[in-house]
Amino acid sequence: MPITQDNFPIILPYDDGYDFEFLGLGTYAIVTKLSHTKNNSVSGELSIMHPIANVLLTDAKINFSYITEREKLAKQLTEISSQSAGNCLIKNISAWNEIIQIISSEIITKYRENQPVKIPQASLRAINDIQIEKVSWLWYPYIPVGKLTMLEGDPGIGKSWVSLAIATAISLGSYLPNQAEPISGSILLASAEDGLGDTIKPRLQAMGANQNIIYAIDGLFTLDESGFELLENWISETVPALCIIDPLIAFLDRDLDTSKANQVRWATARLARLAEKWKIAVIGVRHLTKGGNSKAIYRGLGSIDFTAAARSVLLAGTDPEDDKIRGVVHIKSNLARLGDAIGYELREDGFYWTDKCDLTALKILASSDGGEAIGEAKMFLIDILAGVDGMAANDVLERASSADISKRTLDRAKKELHVITYKKGEEGKRGGGKWYWKLPGDDD
How would DSSP label each residue in 312-371? EEEEEEEETTEEEEEEEEEEEESSSPPPPPEEEEEETTEEEEES-----HHHHHHHHT--
pLDDT at 383: 81
Q: Are residues 198 and 287 in the same domain?
A: yes
Q: Which domain holds residue 53?
A: 10-113
pLDDT digits (tens, 9 = 90+) for 65-86: 777 788 888 888 888 777 765 5
Q: Are residues 47 and 165 in the same domain?
A: no
Tally Cβ neighbours within 10 Å of residue 372: 8
Least confident of 33-47, 188-202, 289-303, 357-371: 289-303
Given a cut of 70, whether residue 37 has pLDDT beyond it is: no
pLDDT digits (tens, 9 = 90+) for 249-298: 999 988 788 778 778 888 899 999 999 999 999 999 998 865 554 455 55
pLDDT digits (tens, 9 = 90+) for 3-20: 665 667 788 887 778 888
Confidence label for 237 from pLDDT (cuts 50, 70 and 90) = confident
Enumerate residues 6+ apart whose C-beta is below 8 A from 8. 102
Count Cβ neighbours within 10 Å for each residue of 79-109 and write b for 16 or more, e otherwise. Answer: ebbeeeeeebbbeebebbbbbbbbbbebbbe
The CA distance from 107 to 104, in Å, is: 5
**Is residue 26 a part of any domain in this protein?**
yes
Considering only residues 92 and 210, tell me which one the structure prediction assigns the higher pLDDT.
210
pLDDT at 300: 57
pLDDT at 54: 63
Q: What Å distances lie between residue 64 and 97, 106, 215, 295, 399, CA to CA?
A: 12, 10, 17, 47, 69
**Is residue 23 a part of any domain in this protein?**
yes
Given a cut of 50, whether residue 351 has pLDDT beyond it is: yes
Domain limit, last residue, from 98, 113, 128 = 113
Sheet with strand 434-438: strands edge to edge: 391-392, 434-438, 420-424
User: In terms of Cα–Cα distance, which of 102, 115, 144, 139 is closest to 41?
Assistant: 115
Q: Is the pTM of this model over 0.85?
A: no
The CA distance from 293 to 83, in Å, is: 69
* Average pLDDT of span 151-166: 93
Q: Are residues 382 and 360 in the same domain?
A: no
Q: Are residues 376 and 251 in the same domain?
A: no
Confidence label for 194 from pLDDT (cuts 50, 70 and 90) = very high
Q: Are residues 38 and 172 in the same domain?
A: no
**Is residue 30 a part of any domain in this protein?**
yes
The CA distance from 275 to 267, in Å, is: 13
* Average pLDDT of span 178-204: 94
For residue 303, the one-letter residue type is S
Given a cut of 90, whether residue 431 has pLDDT beyond it is: no
pLDDT at 3: 61
The CA distance from 182 to 121, in Å, is: 37
Q: Are residues 208 and 156 in the same domain?
A: yes
User: In terms of Cα–Cα distance, which of 348, 338, 276, 269 is closest to 306?
Assistant: 269
Q: What Å distances lie between residue 92 and 52, 87, 95, 213, 249, CA to CA?
A: 18, 14, 6, 21, 41
Given a cut of 60, whether residue 369 has pLDDT beyond it is: no
Q: How many domains does the chain have?
A: 3
> Which CATH number goes with the domain that contains 384?
1.10.10
Q: Are residues 363 and 376 in the same domain?
A: no
> Which CATH number goes with the domain that contains 205?
3.40.50.300
Average pLDDT value over all residues in the chain = 83
**Is residue 121 a part of any domain in this protein?**
no
Given a cut of 70, whether residue 153 has pLDDT beyond it is: yes
Q: Do strands 137-139 and 148-153 pair parallel, antiparallel, or not at all (unpaired)?
A: unpaired
Q: Are residues 355 and 383 in the same domain?
A: no
